[in-house]
Amino acid sequence: MKSLWAPWRMEYIRSSKSVGDSGCFLCVDKAEDEKALVIGRRGKAFVIMNKFPYANGHVMVVPARHVGRLEALTDEELLDMLGLVKICSALLTRELDAEGLNVGINMGRAAGAGLEEHIHIHMVPRWFGDTNFMPILGETKVISEHLQETYKKLRASFVNTNLHSKIE
């Protein structure tokens, strides 16, 4: 396999995998939102950048409470999460010119969940022609924009538009 240098990822690899007290990197205290790359919050849920994205702008919608199964969510948590999916759909389309979105939940290790203990909804922006020979022949993905730049753009959109009022 070929190597593609991405030195900005070393900071994350060397840092503690957890941000919250529970040892779960998705248990994020509001005071740590910027450090954890939280884009915005709504009620009992929030949106966070995926630090190991499948594509530029890959975000996750997460309940604030540490819970691992869909059926364990309260109706309020589920409604807040789906409201954020709706908002992020418009946000990713508008800010990143996404031509489509993959939206999904992986429950259980057999389904591909990397973190079974804290359920989350993946939202991955897609564009026509965004797949190429790199992942197939080079076993390498190319992310077109630095994670921090994408975060700043998406966070600013939450703060500077009417979407922000729906988050807080």
Q: What is the pLDDT of residues 112-158, one digit of tens each?
A: 878 889 999 999 999 887 764 444 444 445 556 677 888 888 888 87
Residue 129: closest CA among 49, 59, 55: 55
For the whole prediction, is pTM greater than 0.95?
Answer: no
Per domain, the residue ranges of the chain are 36-163
Cβ distance 81 to 48 under 8 Å?
no
- Non-local CB neighbours of 138 within 8 Å, separated by 6+ positions: 1, 2, 4
Q: Which CATH class is domain 36-163?
A: alpha beta
Active-site residue numbers?
A: 120
Looking only at the bridges linking them, the beta strands covering 121-126 and 100-104 are antiparallel
